[in-house]
Structure 1
Amino acid sequence: MEKDSVRLDKFLWAARFYKTRALAQQMIDSGRVKVDGDRVKPARAIRPGVHISLRQGRTRRLIEVIGVSDKRGSAPQAQLLYREISPPEEIGLFDDE
């Protein structure tokens, strides 16, 4: 049975943005990950269609969720879960830090 939502921390880990769920939780708690422009908690349910803005080191990324999974697969499988939106600054979901 295919899931229709998954926790944000599990999604970020499964989509290979962060190596561990603990690191994903830390980034969410620090405010470096936002869902549709809002600070959220790691347990936030993520569904296709939402926009996630995040930082990986100095890199800003904005993605649109197109699929969800709570299992970590290969990099090609992970890339099927989201669509990159570029450049993120044009969307306005990042605050100047």
Structure 2
Amino acid sequence: MESLRLDKFLWAARFYKTRALAQQMIEGGKVRIDGDRVKPARAVRPGQIIELRQGRTRRRIEVLGLSETRGPATQAQQLYRDLSAPEKIGIFDEE
């Protein structure tokens, strides 16, 4: 498989619970490919960079593989590489 619809990729990679939710986020401008605003039917190919917002979190991922089915989380994590800067969680300044 050379390419896959963006909404289907985001669903299979477990970024959104349903394809309908993925479509809603894409149409709302929350998802971009290589910096461009896109539509749900846009073809995704390995090597492309996807930027998406999930609540207050911004994620930047590189597509590594494609899958038409939604598998377990371990399988989904093999479809992309997270390029997002790690967030500082639970770190407090000492006085």
TM-score normalised by length of structure 2: 0.88
1:53 aligned residue: 51
Give the length in aligned residue pairs. 86
Residues 1-97 of structure 1 mapped to structure 2, 5 A cutoff: 3-87=1-85
CA distance in structure 2 between the partners assigned to 1:70 and 1:7 by the alignment: 9
CA distance in structure 2 between the partners assigned to 1:20 and 1:41 by the alignment: 16
CA distance in structure 1 between the partners assigned to 2:40 and 2:55 by the alignment: 19
Q: What amino acid does structure 1 have at the position aligned with 2:15?
A: F
CA distance in structure 1 between the partners assigned to 2:56 and 2:68 by the alignment: 26
Structure with higher Rg: it is 2
Q: Is there any run of 5+ residues in structure 2 with no aligned partner, and where?
A: 87-95
Deviation at 1:24, TM superposition (A): 0.1
Deviation at 1:86, TM superposition (A): 2.4
Identity of counterpart residues, as a percentage?
73
TM-score normalised by length of structure 1: 0.86
Runs of 4 or more off by more than 3 Å in structure 1? none
Q: Is there any run of 5+ residues in structure 1 with no aligned partner, and where?
A: 89-97
SS in 2 for 1:54: strand
Q: What amino acid does structure 2 have at the position aligned with 1:74?
A: P
CA distance in structure 2 between the partners assigned to 1:20 and 1:35 by the alignment: 20
SS in 2 for 1:4: coil
